[in-house]
Structure 1
Amino acid sequence: MLTQKQHELLCFIDDRLKDSGVSPSFEEMKEALGLKSKSGIHRLISALEERDFIRRLPNRARALEVLKLPEGGVLEITPSNVVSLRPETPVREVVSNPAPAPAANNDVLEIPLHGRIAAGAPIEAMEGQSALSVPAALLGPGEHYALEVSGDSMIDAGILDGDFALIQKTEVARDGEIVVALIHEEEATLKYLRKDGGNVQLDPANAAYEPQRYGAGEVRIQGKMAGLLRRY
């Protein structure tokens, strides 16, 4: 049983592979289906993979293979907006004896790379159009983006200058979590969050730096740290 969007995405991927031999990008899939974010595409692809309609080839960010397509039946729109195949509908195998889908920790996802974030004195976090390929095992549920770390104020937390912080989008965080904090709607920094009554304290993980204290209205949470990527 496929939802309407899953069916649309499967057909779009298959058409593109037949036309060019190359999987469409997540941005192209997002535009083709009229979605607002790539996280919706990630969920659709995962659902199609679980149902053995497609598989993702390991260690390649844009390698999708269509394993089977619905064929010969009449699609029905159910009240829950689910597209299902009639019981007698045959399934056309695109490849014979397909290899089993790779484990999730071999999958690679592309997430937006939004410039640099300070692990020191606050600097501007720039919005960018680049993407970063990240092992899916480093990410949890939800929508994510990446920021390149600048500075050494979080060094005792194992976060070094030049690392890529993997951030889960959220506007709320618990005391003690590492967050992306936007200060005065202008500058962003990566720090431990400490709540002190009506104030917010942003703590570094380096004794050479002092904690930063602000009123609650001066700081807005833009995400919390979900993982770290380091290139050697």
Structure 2
Amino acid sequence: MSALTKRQEQIVTFIADHMETYDRPPTGTEIADHFGWSSHATAYEQLRWIEKKGYLVRERSGARGPLHLSLTDKARHLVDDAWMVLGRIPAGPLSDVAGEHLDTVAGLEDLVPVSLKPGDYFLRVDGDSMVDAGLAEGALVVVRSTQEATSGDICAVWVDGDGGTLKTVRFEDNTVHLVPQNSAYMPTQYPAERVRIQGVVVAVLDMRRV
């Protein structure tokens, strides 16, 4: 019983981030507040299981002293190898794209057919307009952060005034064409000054098969 649940992975990541920011581990109350739990007892129960799985060491100074948390090498490896999932991106009509760090994934390097680089991140596909390119709804795409692309690239793009989407881009003079890979959808075009390339898709993972 060594695998962490998704919530336990989030707790380990929170502890690591807190230690990096404040140079000390969080208290049980701080963990409970961060995850919206009404009682710190829930946090301590989760910490007990995380310790049992080998990702954490809990030490108390004296019978009534404060509880000190330290992450094991196993936890450090998990945190260091985690990649950000920044949110969901519509493969369909334009809409707002979550731009905050929503989650992390780890241990997927062997499933990604490219070498991941610093700055790469994952987005989860929402919609079916790119299904013929292998980007099914729910898939994770690996996005390489860049503001430059060439015609034919599948990109995460932001259109000022309309929002974001995942489409094949084609450039023509001062116009950017956003081309779906599904015959049920029509291409759209925008003046180049309204379109911002946020990244190029370099790989896709169908999480239904993982």
Scaled by the length of structure 2, the TM-score of the pair is 0.59
**Aligned pairs, how many?**
146
- TM-superposed CA distance for 1:113, in Å, is 1.8
Residue 118 in 1 paired to residue 108 in 2?
no
Residue 127 in 1 paired to residue 99 in 2?
yes
**Contact 2:85-2:105 within 8 A present in 1 as well:** no
State the identity %. 29
- Cα separation, partners in 2 of 1:133 and 1:178, compared to 1, 3 Å: same
Alignment partner, residue 109 of structure 2: 136
- TM-superposed CA distance for 1:28, in Å, is 5.0
**Contact 1:116-1:124 within 8 A present in 2 as well:** no
- Cα separation, partners in 2 of 1:201 and 1:223, compared to 1, 3 Å: same
Following superposition, which runs of at least 4 residues in structure 1 exceed 3 angstroms of deviation?
22-33, 62-65
Which of 188, 191, 203 is equivalent to 1:227? Answer: 203
Distance in 2 of aligned mates of 1:112 and 1:157: 23
Distance in 2 of aligned mates of 1:174 and 1:142: 21
- Cα separation, partners in 2 of 1:133 and 1:172, compared to 1, 3 Å: same
Residue 64 in 1 paired to residue 73 in 2?
yes
Structure number having the greater helix percentage = 2
> Pairwise CA RMSD of aligned residues?
3.2
Mapping of 1:56-205 within 5 angstroms? 64=73, 109-134=81-106, 135-137=108-110, 138=112, 139-184=115-160, 186-205=162-181
Distance in 2 of aligned mates of 1:114 and 1:156: 24
